[in-house]
Amino acid sequence: MSEKLIDSGNNAAAMAVQLAAAEVIAAYPITPQTPLTEKLSELIAAGEMDAEYVAVESEHSALGVCIGAASAGVRAFTATSSNGLLYMSEQLHWAAGARLPMVMCVVNRGIGAPWSVWNDHQDAMSQRDAGWIQLFAKDHQEIVDITLKAFRLAELVHIPVMVNYDGYYLSHTYMPFELPDAAVVKEFLPAYEYAHALDPQKPESLNTVTLPDSRNDINGVKQPGYMDIRHNLHQEMRLAMDVLEEIDADYQQRFGRGGTPIIDPYCCEDADYIVVAMGTLANQFRDVVDRLRQEDGLKVGVLALQIYRPFPTAKIAEALQSAKGVMVYEKGLSYGNQGALYADLKSALYPYPARPQLHNFIVGLGGRDIRTEDLCQTLKSACLQDDLSSPEQTDTPQWIGLQL
């Protein structure tokens, strides 16, 4: 039976991992992720989850253990935040290049220095080129659903998947959500099998020095070179979006929730102005959209991006073709340039006939309060703005909520 609960986002994630029957959990505590892995270790200690909990001395080792587990054909899970994710960075690239499926929850938090334990998206954005699939949840129900889909996705496409959710906004707040029936989850998520699983009876060299050129192995079989392997990772990461949609359709059929695994539009059909945002910020904008439609008669909508890597280039560009203006609000940036999401979106739109006026807003870094009032004001004035500013001015991100 499915179960309705009111619990924290971290506990929702832990229960999803329990349902997914992960077999190895290796994690190092870091705020705001800690309660998630504490909950998993409790479940294992109480005999409610049949998994090995490996207590490690660092995040680098945590992902190393998951890489080992996945290499042995075992379903692995880890979770982290902020500087912990950055400490894993080398291993992130390794897991992706080795095509090892695993799932990691990243409970998004600002990166030090200066030290911050509060939310923004800079941790995930900084790892966007590591070769991991990056999904973003907007509420507790999505944490559960996306985590379950993430395991199946990772194992079908053999690419590791990061499930991002906002620190504190989701990790520590309580919300109602439904936990799917364990027996149906088992059907949805078959056991993980790995063709190259470590086996002493069948020794193989895995990811050893791979020469620039392809070569014949000792059996005379042509083996790809480094560049071929990396090209395949890129191609199959793009293809993974189709697989995610198929998985989502199956999930929807079994559990009744889904339909928007790539982009999740709200009031976008007739919208002249569309906000693009990720995570809880996109949900906060639903209130803003309702208000501006009601009070100001502005045809606005918000489009939540549910997947950041691979970037859904065509889907998002097509969804914005009839908009006059697009406002990208984000909790991170590429220092010295612009918001990373904004830059990606701009490049996605370039080959398309309609290039709506774009605006970039940086909000909520290191947990700076994101006031709905400020979102209303800035969105409204961006909608009403006559295009009088210089190209450079329009292309410069505006910071909201600065206290200088």
Partner 1 sequence: MPDSRFKVLTSASTSGPGDAGRTGSWRVERPILDYSRCIPAKTGKSACHLCWLYCPDNVVSKAIEPKIDLEYCKGCGICAEECPAKAIEMVSEENFVAGGEDE
What does the binding site for partner 1 look like in residue numbers (CB under 8 A)?
98-99, 155-158, 193, 195-196, 203-211, 215, 217-219, 221, 223-224, 226, 228-229, 232-233, 236, 239, 243
DSSP 35-89: HHHHHHHHHHHTTSS--EEEE-SSHHHHHHHHHHHHHTT--EEEEE-HHHHHHTH
Q: Which is nearer to partner 1, 224 or 366 (CB)?
A: 224
Residues in the chain: 404
Q: Which is nearer to partner 1, 1 or 209 (CB)?
A: 209
Q: Are strands 174-179 and 3-8 parallel, antiparallel or unpaired?
A: antiparallel
As measured in angstroms, the least distance from the Cβ of 230 to partner 1 is 9
CA distance 141 to 103: 17
As measured in angstroms, the least distance from the Cβ of 21 to partner 1 is 17
- Do 223 and 213 meet the contact criterion of CB atoms below 8 Å apart? no
CA distance 168 to 278: 15
Instruction: List all residues 6 or more positions away from 74 whose beta carbon is below 8 Å from its beta carbon.
Output: 23, 24, 192
Q: Which is nearer to partner 1, 186 or 215 (CB)?
A: 215
As measured in angstroms, the least distance from the Cβ of 76 to partner 1 is 16
What token pair was written down for 24?
Answer: 């190895």
Q: Which is nearer to partner 1, 191 or 354 (CB)?
A: 191
Q: Which is nearer to partner 1, 23 or 166 (CB)?
A: 23
As measured in angstroms, the least distance from the Cβ of 285 to partner 1 is 34
Q: Which is nearer to partner 1, 197 or 400 (CB)?
A: 197
As measured in angstroms, the least distance from the Cβ of 71 to partner 1 is 10
What token pair was written down for 6?
Answer: 């009111």
CA distance 189 to 152: 6
As measured in angstroms, the least distance from the Cβ of 201 to partner 1 is 13
As measured in angstroms, the least distance from the Cβ of 261 to partner 1 is 16
What token pair was written down for 158?
Answer: 């053999």
CA distance 29 to 107: 11
As measured in angstroms, the least distance from the Cβ of 156 to partner 1 is 5
As measured in angstroms, the least distance from the Cβ of 159 to partner 1 is 9
Q: Which is nearer to partner 1, 94 or 342 (CB)?
A: 94
Amino acid at 384: L
As measured in angstroms, the least distance from the Cβ of 51 to partner 1 is 21
* Closest C-alpha to 26, from 74, 81, 63, 80: 63
Q: Which is nearer to partner 1, 45 or 191 (CB)?
A: 191
Q: Which is nearer to partner 1, 36 or 100 (CB)?
A: 100
User: What are residue 54's phi and psi, to 5 degrees?
Assistant: -100, 110
DSSP 3-state assignment of 179? strand
Q: Spell out the long-range contacts of 189-196 with Cβ–Cβ below 8 A and sequence spacing 24 or more.
A: 189/20, 189/21, 189/148, 189/151, 189/152, 191/75, 192/73, 192/74, 192/75, 192/101, 192/155, 193/73, 194/70, 194/71, 194/72, 194/73, 194/101, 196/71
Q: Which is nearer to partner 1, 32 or 261 (CB)?
A: 261
